[in-house]
């Protein structure tokens, strides 16, 4: 009987999270370039099959095969591993990754980094790398990482960057559905005309690159404007990046080619630095219709092959009808599970009262 309570509770928790995602999608239905979120859930049989087919040994750890270490001449490291995780301290908590790019920041700590327009390493907006003892401090000393994930400072082991996976767990005691993850649907939204010469839509894959205080961010929202310094900026005032840095537009009549070349009064001003990101799973929403790469990852992909459409914007890819149908279905499921819990509670209460009379 208690399993029934676990099942209903698990389903209600998952439905509640799905409802949060759907309401957020509906709230952004008119947000330019917004990409809807999808809740991925899995049932007990799916979890069981995944665990059976995963490379897990019987010692309680996945097959740890060491750390692949690549070091650049500038002192930056690129690490990857199987059977464990690297951890970074982000603004929203601890992030777990299979790959990690880091360098030593100005304070002497290991930190993730981004690259500026010249390809130089910038750790100012990076996240601290966590070892088993917390943030890893190296100071100005020489840093090495061996194949076991151990950090050596001046030849002495100071910490280990690899957190091994816990013993294999099939799932908690419930027979219902659990929340697995939330993914972003990057399907193309409908393109509509605005006749504004500073509105740009991307037809096909690709993202505009935006300079923010935290580093380079990405967006599909092409509703731009020109600030007091004649720079092309977003509605929030962040500068839009071209191939040579921020784009300065000195003119009144603006024209943009399909490849992103910008002309003002028939004079070339620069080219939009549009990037086609293949590893979309590493993109994270950061608010303001912007995306940022997950800590320790870099955007990967071929050159931009789509089209830039001037005087157009991309609408959100949220289908209001489908979202409303899903919301109604969730309401009914939630209500059914609520009634199930009440029925179990009444039954248990009756059992307790009857046993007390014996």
Closest-CA residue to 260 (of 273, 251, 247)? 273
pLDDT over 90 percentage in the chain = 49
- For residue 346 the two structure tokens come to 């009444």
Confidence label for 335 from pLDDT (cuts 50, 70 and 90) = confident
Rg (CA), the chain: 25
DSSP collapsed to 3 states, 208-267: EEEEECCEEEEECCCECEECCCCEEECCCCCEEEECCEECECCCCCEEECCCCEEEECCE
For 107, counting Cβ atoms within 10 Å of its Cβ (0-12 exposed, 13-18 middle, 19+ buried), the class is exposed
pLDDT over 70 percentage in the chain = 86
Q: What is the mean pLDDT of residues 168-172?
A: 45
Q: Are 311 and 199 in contact (CB under 8 A)?
A: yes
Residue carrying structure tokens 């001046």: 154
Confidence label for 44 from pLDDT (cuts 50, 70 and 90) = low
Q: Give the pLDDT score at 23.
A: 93
pLDDT, tens digit, 9 for 90 and up, residues 145-164: 999 899 999 989 999 998 87
Q: How confident is the prediction for the chain on average, in pLDDT?
A: 84
For 146-160, b/e burial (b = at least 16 CB within 10 A) is: eeebbbbbeeeebbb
Q: Phi and psi of 82, rounded to 5°?
A: -125, 150
- Is the predicted pLDDT of residue 269 greater than 50, yes or no? yes
Confidence label for 65 from pLDDT (cuts 50, 70 and 90) = confident
Q: Give the pLDDT score at 38.
A: 86
Q: Are 54 and 82 in contact (CB under 8 A)?
A: no
pLDDT, tens digit, 9 for 90 and up, residues 235-244: 999 999 999 9
Q: What is the mean pLDDT of residues 183-199?
A: 93
- Is the predicted pLDDT of residue 8 greater than 90, yes or no? no
- Is the predicted pLDDT of residue 58 greater than 50, yes or no? no
Coil, helix or strand for 333? helix
Whole-angstrom Cα distance, residue 230 to residue 141?
44
Least confident of 113-122, 147-156, 253-262: 113-122
- Is the predicted pLDDT of residue 61 greater than 60, yes or no? no
Phi-psi region of 235 (alpha: psi -120 to 50; beta: other; left: phi over 0): alpha
pTM strictly above 0.85 = no
The H or E element spanning position 169 is none
- Is the predicted pLDDT of residue 227 greater than 70, yes or no? yes
Confidence label for 263 from pLDDT (cuts 50, 70 and 90) = very high
Confidence label for 59 from pLDDT (cuts 50, 70 and 90) = very low
Q: Give the pLDDT score at 182.
A: 80
Q: Are 319 and 268 in contact (CB under 8 A)?
A: no
Q: What is the mean pLDDT of residues 107-132?
A: 87
C-alpha distance from residue 139 to each of 107, 110, 304 (Å): 7, 9, 40
Strands 191-193 and 312-314: antiparallel
Closest-CA residue to 183 (of 311, 41, 295)? 41
- For residue 167 the two structure tokens come to 């013993």
Q: Are 239 and 270 in contact (CB under 8 A)?
A: no
Q: Are 224 and 247 in contact (CB under 8 A)?
A: no
In the 8-state DSSP scheme, what is residue 106?
Answer: T
Taken as a whole, the chain contains a residue count of 358
């Amino acid at each position: 009987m208690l399993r029934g309570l676990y099942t209903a509770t698990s389903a209600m928790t998952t439905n509640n999270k799905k409802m949060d995602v759907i309401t957020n999608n509906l709230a952004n239905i008119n947000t330019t370039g917004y990409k809807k979120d999808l809740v991925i859930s899995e049932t007990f049989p799916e979890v069981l099959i995944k665990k059976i087919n995963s490379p897990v040994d019987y010692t309680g750890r996945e097959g740890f095969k060491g750390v692949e270490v690549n070091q650049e001449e500038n002192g930056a490291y690129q690490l990857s591993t199987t059977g464990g995780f690297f951890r970074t301290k982000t603004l929203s908590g601890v992030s777990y990754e299979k790959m990690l790019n880091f360098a030593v920041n100005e304070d002497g700590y290991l930190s993730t980094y981004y690259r500026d327009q010249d390809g130089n390493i910038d750790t100012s907006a990076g996240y601290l790398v966590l070892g088993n003892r917390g943030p890893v401090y190296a100071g100005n000393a020489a840093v090495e990482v061996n194949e076991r994930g151990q950090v050596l400072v001046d030849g002495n082991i100071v910490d280990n960057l690899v957190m091994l996976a816990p013993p294999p767990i099939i799932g908690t005691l419930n027979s219902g559905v659990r929340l697995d993850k939330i993914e972003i649907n990057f399907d193309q939204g409908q393109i509509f005309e605005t006749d504004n010469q500073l509105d740009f839509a991307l037809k096909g894959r690709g993202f505009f690159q935006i300079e923010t205080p935290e580093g380079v961010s990405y967006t599909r929202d092409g509703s731009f404007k020109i600030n007091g310094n004649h720079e092309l900026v977003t509605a929030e005032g962040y500068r839009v990046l071209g191939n040579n840095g921020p784009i300065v537009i000195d003119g009144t009549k603006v024209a943009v080619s399909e490849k992103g070349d910008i002309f003002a009064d028939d004079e070339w001003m620069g080219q939009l630095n549009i990037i086609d990101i293949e590893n979309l799973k590493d993109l994270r929403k950061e608010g303001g219709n912007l995306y940022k790469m997950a800590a320790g990852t870099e955007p990967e992909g071929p050159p931009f092959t789509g089209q830039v459409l001037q005087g157009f914007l991309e609408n959100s890819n949220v289908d209001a009808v489908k979202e409303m149908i899903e919301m109604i279905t969730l309401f009914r499921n939630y209500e059914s599970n609520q009634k199930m819990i009440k029925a179990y509670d009444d039954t248990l209460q009756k059992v307790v009262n009857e046993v007390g009379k014996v």
